[in-house]
Amino acid sequence: GHRACFSGTPFAIKVARVLRPDLVIARAAGIETRNDAEALKGERLYVARAALPATAEDEFYVEDLVGLSVQSQAGGALGRVAAVYNFGAADVIELTGVPGAEGTVMLPFTKEAIADVDLAAGTLIIAAEALEEIIAEEGEPAAARETSKKKSPSLSDETGEIVSDDAGVDLDAMREEDA
């Protein structure tokens, strides 16, 4: 079984059946009845980072993307990744601190919009074409005034996987509990 934690209470979880990649039927020790399970409705489920599956190339955990420094291909600062959302069609990143923009800027997390993600360096590089769209919508961010050489987008980090945050996994809280 796997180890998980509901609001600070550890449980051993055994997957009974996988219905589809994002939906499983599981059993947890100590949760014997439907009423026991319903009492956990709305609770957060935490899983140790070490228990998460290895990621493939060009995949990232949401937790790893949030907080990355955002840059243009020319190296100009464009703020930080504040959040990652999935509204059904594709993942979207929310940027804060974009020079010249009021509030936040939303950008699709696609190979066309993101030129590179370097987790080791803590950076996410926006493709020149996507930066041009931000400029058109938000005005000209200071970092965009630089001349940048266009290159083909490629997500080349060998770690991480974007996974939906639908389950409400709060890895920071989990790490605090493990410390």
Give the tens place of pLDDT for each residue, 40-99: 887 777 778 887 888 888 889 999 999 999 999 888 999 999 999 988 888 999 999 988
pTM for the whole structure? 0.61
Give the tens place of pLDDT for each residue, 144-159: 434 333 333 333 334 4
- The number of beta carbons lying within 10 Å of the beta carbon of residue 61 is 20
Cβ pair 20, 32 in contact under 8 A? no
Residue 81 pLDDT: 96
Six-digit token string for 96: 């804060």
Q: How far apart are CA 126 and CA 155, in angstroms?
A: 11
Residue 55 pLDDT: 85
Pairing outcome for strands 123-126 and 69-72: parallel
Cβ pair 174, 46 in contact under 8 A? yes
| Sheet-wide strand order for 2-6 | 23-28, 9-20, 2-6, 45-47
Q: How far apart are CA 38 and CA 12, in angstroms?
A: 18
Six-digit token string for 106: 């939303």
Which residue in 127, 134, 122, 118 sits closest to 148, CA to CA? 127
Which three-class secondary structure state does DSSP give residue 109?
coil
List C-alpha distances in Å: 123 to 86, 101, 110, 137, 148: 21, 20, 16, 23, 17
Give the tens place of pLDDT for each residue, 118-154: 999 999 999 988 877 777 776 555 444 343 333 333 3
